[in-house]
Amino acid sequence: MPSSNHHRAGIRKDPVYNLHLPISILYTSVSLILFLLCGCIAYFQIVNGNKKGDDKIYLISQFDLGYLYLTAFLLKLGGYTTGMNLIERRVAANIFAPDQYIYEVKGVEGEKLGYVLFVAEGALGRFNRAQRAYQNYNDNLPINIMYILLVGFVYPREVMMISILYIGLRILYSMEYTRKPGARFPWYILSQMTMMVAETLVIMIAHRSFNITG
């Protein structure tokens, strides 16, 4: 049965998210700050003075492959935009993780039963959150593999270290998400920043390849 904190239909009464700015501004501002921070890390720790990397970027330039790198980033921007739309709708609906879809029971007695949500408590709740953490990892895998392959051609050793760090942080993310939904956020941000370093490297490689002449 829903608690006193829930509507009869099962949706929480009190706001799940206490935000003081529109999602579009908050999401974009935080993403931009993290992106710039990761860009500084990528440039000063990996790109600057890397002769082997510069030699490979020259090869990329000769075959006009900078456009391929830029295309990879544009694909990520599409995911960023649709993700922001998702978050706006989630906040408006007052739905917290791990719920991804809200179902309703149809039929004569359907209105009495409310919405169908994920079980949140006990072993079943932990299972649901563990399943979502696993799916989160897989959801990010295609774009991550693309970044690893593109950046790995220029900076293979550095990409291996980025990947090892990312995997470790995602394991911690999974364990904390399984324990409690809100506990995942620090590990989520750190893991995303790790792969964001690779993302900024994609842009830098493209930019540097376009600026090579002769």
- Report pLDDT digits (tens) over 125-167: 999 999 999 999 999 999 999 999 999 999 999 999 999 999 9
Question: Would you state the pLDDT for residue 104?
Answer: 85
Domain locations in the chain as residue ranges: 23-92+119-210
Residue found under tokens 């049965």? 1
Question: Would you state the pLDDT for residue 28?
Answer: 94
Question: Would you state the pLDDT for residue 2?
Answer: 44
Average pLDDT over residues 27-56: 97
The DSSP result for the chain, as a single string, is: ---TTB-TTS-BSS-S---SS-HHHHHHHHHHHHHHHHHHHHIIIIITT-HHHHHHHHHHHHTTTHHHHHHHHHHHHHHHHHHHHHHHHHHHHT--TT----EE--STTHHHH-EE----SHHHHHHHHHHHHHHHHHHHHHHHHHHHHHHHHH-HHHHHHHHHHHHHHHHHHHHHHHH-GGGGHHHHHHHHHHHHHHHHHHHHHHHHHHT---
Between the CA atoms of 41, 64, 147 and 201, what dihedral angle is there, to the nearest 10 degrees?
A: 0
Question: Would you state the pLDDT for residue 214?
Answer: 56
- Report pLDDT digits (tens) over 76-121: 999 999 999 999 999 988 898 899 999 888 877 766 777 888 999 9
Rounded Cα–Cα distance for residues 129 and 178 (Å): 5
pTM of the shown model: 0.90
